[in-house]
Chains A and B, each alone.
Chain A
Amino acid sequence: MRLGLDPFTVYSFIQRDRLSPILDDEGEYIVSEQEVAALAKPKKE
């Protein structure tokens, strides 16, 4: 995850349906690479 957010904020976004969580091999919530890439893509002017 490379959104530059702290885990608590990521959890709050997952709860508010801002991000859709998936679980990694250790059972930890993460955000998909595609979603991160989409969120990190700068706005087109």
Chain B
Amino acid sequence: MLKKDGQPWIPRGPRGSGNALVGDEALAYRRVSDSMQRDLHQMEKIKEQLNALEQVRWERPNPPVLETFNASDGTTWDVYAHLVELPKSRVLLCRPHNSSDWSVIQEFEEGCAYARKHGRTEVLVQGQNVRDVVMDYVAQANHTLRFSERNLVANAQKTVWRQFPEHNPGKIVEALMEHCDKAVTHNRSIGESQSEAQDIRRSRGMRV
């Protein structure tokens, strides 16, 4: 950890222009952010995959089939792209064999309780235009990421106020929120980001 005048020190804002965390504030921040790291890292990995999908040119003539699988309802699906890898499932861009309609399908791990009840595959988005279908999925997944992130921050907020009530908890929570926002935010103008950050702060006041 960085030190300034012999005290633990965590700078904030562009080039350290923000209100830095100093001494016990910095130690408390580090302790809570370390406990969030595993979940946050998982979200960052998903976010990176979603960002990459936005850069792909989807409208390609004659895209190659990567693999084929049979769903429990007897439909044969051709897989054209692996969109997202999740810890216990994967999300695929598919078309039914001999059909022109596109689908985003989630395939769950074999034998998991949910798959036993509902089947291994589930259609998430369907449509005729491949780019629209993928971008609809990306929008849904980004929305889910924001939802997960808010829940993570709500937990962190509770921990900070419970364990570090005397170490400027409001400032620590604000720094943790900035840290989480960075992980799941991208591609937005500065004005948009600031306005959304204010909305998030308002909604977080109520606890998720």
Chain B positions within 8 Å of A12 at CB level: 140-141, 144
Total A-B residue contacts, Cβ distance less than 8 Å: 73
8 Å CB contacts to A: which residues of B39-57?
39, 42-43, 46
Contacts of B65 in A (CB 8 A): none
Chain A 34-45, CB-CB to B under 8 Å as 1, else 0, gives 001001111100
User: Main SS of chain B's interface residues?
Assistant: helix
**B88: which A residues are within 8 A, CB to CB?**
4-6, 9
- Once the chains bind, are A27 and B86 in contact (CB under 8 Å)? no
State in angstroms the CA–CA spacing of A5 and B109 once bound together.
Answer: 8
Q: Which residue on A lies nearest to B153, using beta carbons?
A: A27
Interface size on A, residues (CB 8 A): 23
Instruction: List the A side residues contacting B43 at CB < 8 Å.
Output: 8
Residue B16 interfacial (CB < 8 Å): no
**Which A residue sits closest to B46, measured CB to CB?**
A8
For B87, list chain A residues within 8 Å (CB).
Answer: 6
Binding site for B on A (CB under 8 A): 2-9, 11-12, 14-15, 23, 26-29, 36, 39-43
- Give the A-binding residues of B (Cβ under 8 A): 39, 42-43, 46, 86-89, 106, 108-109, 111-118, 140-141, 143-145, 147-148, 151, 154-155, 158, 207-208
Question: Shortest 10 CB-CB distances between A and B: which pairs?
Answer: A4-B112, A40-B113, A6-B87, A6-B88, A3-B114, A12-B144, A11-B148, A6-B86, A4-B113, A27-B154
